[in-house]
Amino acid sequence: MRLWPANWWPRTLGAQLVVMTAAAVLLSNVAVASWFQLVQSRATESAINDRIIDRAVSAATLLSAIPARQREAAARALSSNVWHFSIHHGKPDGLPMADDERAMAARVEALLPKHKIKEPVIVDFRAPRSGEAFQSGTRPVSVITIMVPVVRGTELLTTFYRPPPAPWPLQIVIAAVVAILTTSIAAAFIASRVARPLSQLAASASQAARGGQAEHVPEEGPDDVRRAAHAFNVMTDQVARTLARQRQLLSAVGHDLRTPITAMRISAEFVGDEEIRERLQRNLEELQDLTDAVLSAARGAGWEAMRKVDLAALIESVCTDLEDMDKPVKWGAHGAAPLMCRPSEIRRATRNLIENAIAYGGKADVRLTETPEIYEIVVEDSGPGIAEEDRIRVFDPFVRLESSRSSETGGSGLGLTLVKAIAEGHGGSVTLENRPEGGLRVCLCLPRKALGA
């Protein structure tokens, strides 16, 4: 459970290190100062008790040596702001004493001459009463009274008004502030050497995750951070080389597959039986479409250079092309929507979603919505929708919910796989949900700012 609101806690490693270091130094200074204050207060308490006992015994001894008529004046002369002496005649009140009071009374009795102790010593610890205050108006913290016998029938009442403790010396506060500032500067220096390379590594990794070319991370900072940056640079170089070889291989495979398919098409034209010729041509078209789909899905996202386009105009052109082919597509007009993206990939993803909506839902209603953070391409149809348990599985390669395995009704099973790869390659996502009024709603979300929009 958090001890502070979440928005108060810094999010970056450097800020957290500085805050935690400053807090640790502050707590350690407070703990040390409190410990010394406690030890000092105990020592002060012991010294005050010794002083009270010595003062009470000395005053009683002095008063016992002077004439009785001078004792009152002598007691008043001994009094001050924190000390008060008075003469008490008669038998002292035998009030019960607590353990600490009895211990102090025993110490007083031990210092008095044995032949002069005719009455017991009485000690009383009490809180200050109303009206008891120093000349400054500050009330004492506590009041200690000791009744010591002077002669038979006469006692000296010694009262000590304990003043409040002095505040912490300014030097302690200054030392704590200097310690906090010094350690915070040191922590900020260490944090910059650790956090800056990690931030650069995270930015480069995010760029690679979106399908871009990851920039090399400076190999600087402590050894472990430098080793992590070096390992990341080696990994990204290896991944880049692997992807380049893969694209070259796919291009070669695509060329090698198209060549025999084209030759087979030419040969099919010479087949005399019209029914057999049409069947061969249809199978070759299906093979060609499947080859293109497999190559597109295998190539995925990231092969095209990023550039700024009008997303609304791009979607409108896709819808217009399909409308020219007499497809039931409806586009909701939208103003200019600048976006940094790979246009061919977004066009392919949008076309796949619209064609799926037409194939399975009978029509496609397309619109573009936006927030300050994202653009959202929404495609709705009037079909049966997709069961909740199939909404994740449908993105897997070659998964077709239509069980006939026909390319005319079920497609190749790679359309949504490619849409998801393109969306994630742009730092976005694609979601499916059934509409309450019937049909399926597909939302392709693309970040506006993450890729420089």
How high is the pLDDT of residue 124? 87
395 has a pLDDT exceeding 80: no
Give the number of other Cβ atoms within 10 Å of residue 393's Cβ: 11
Burial of 435 (0-12, 13-18, 19+ CB in 10 A): middle
How would residue 11 be classed by pLDDT, with cut points 50, 70 and 90?
low
Q: What is the pLDDT of residue 379?
A: 93
Q: Which residues of 318-350 are buried (b: 16+ CB within 10 A; e: fewer)?
A: bbeebeeeebbbebeebeebebbbbbebbbbbb
Q: Which pair of structure tokens corresponds to residue 407?
A: 């390319």
**Coil, strand or helix: which one is 338?**
strand
User: Who has greater pLDDT, 353 or 118?
Assistant: 353
pLDDT tens-digit series, residues 265-318: 778 777 777 788 788 877 777 777 666 665 665 555 555 678 899 999 999 999
What is the per-residue pLDDT for 451?
46
- Please report, to the nearest 10 degrees, the dihedral formed by the alpha carbons of residues 436, 438, 442, 447 taken in order: -30
Residue whose C-alpha is closest to residue 298's, from 253, 341, 262, 343? 253
The answer to whether the CB of 306 falls within 8 A of the CB of 451 is: yes
Q: What's the pTM?
A: 0.46
Bridge partner residues of 309 (DSSP): 339
How does pLDDT run across 216-256, given as a tens digit for each residue? 777 777 777 778 878 888 888 887 787 677 666 766 666 67
% of the chain with per-residue pLDDT over 70: 81
Distance CA 162, CA 144 (A): 8
How many Å apart are CA 116 and CA 61, to the nearest integer?
9
Amino acid 313: pLDDT: 93
Distance CA 216, CA 221 (A): 15
Beta strands in 371-439 (DSSP E): 374-380, 429-434
Residue 44 pLDDT class (50, 70, 90 cuts): confident
In this prediction, residue 403 carries a pLDDT of 44
**pLDDT per residue as tens digits for the range 411-449:** 555 678 788 888 888 888 888 999 888 889 999 999 987
Mean pLDDT across 346-356: 89
Q: What is the mean pLDDT of the chain?
A: 79
Tell me the mean pLDDT in the region 56-65: 86
Give Cβ neighbours of residue 434 (< 8 Å, ≥ 6 apart).
385, 386, 440, 441
pLDDT tens per residue, range 137-166: 778 888 888 888 888 878 888 888 888 876
